[in-house]
Amino acid sequence: MESPVPGNRPQKADGPELLWSGADQSTAAAINAALVKAGIPYHTQTRGPEFRPGVSQPTQAIFIPSSHHDAAQAVLKSLRLD
């Protein structure tokens, strides 16, 4: 199941914020490309399927600095992932 993570804002203003997670690598690649185009810094983490029972593909999580929350949400919206 892939979905943006609304309302996942940390208390620390500059801390990392989970923007999206899922197993669809093409969606992850589209988000990464759109973040680059928008000039939004991000980092990803990939977990193997052993961390999610019943899932056979790795899961990717995309994190942004929370200070870029609004711009990153606009990127998701433009990709129709909000």
pLDDT of residue 57: 79
Question: What pLDDT is recorded for position 10?
Answer: 47
What does the pLDDT read at residue 80?
Answer: 85
CB proximity list for 60: less than 8 A, separation 6 or greater: 21, 22, 23, 25, 28, 44, 45, 46, 47
- Distance, in Å, from the CA atom of 28 to the CA atom of 57, rounded to the nearest integer, reads 13
State how far the Cα of 38 lies from the Cα of 32, in Å rounded to an integer. Answer: 10
Determine the pLDDT at residue 2. Answer: 53
Domain 17-78 is in which class?
alpha beta
Binned at pLDDT 50, 70 and 90, residue 55 comes out as low
* DSSP H/E element including 33: helix 25-38
The pLDDT tens digits for 4-49 are 555 555 455 678 999 999 989 999 999 999 999 999 999 999 987 6
**What average pLDDT does range 43-66 have in this prediction?**
83
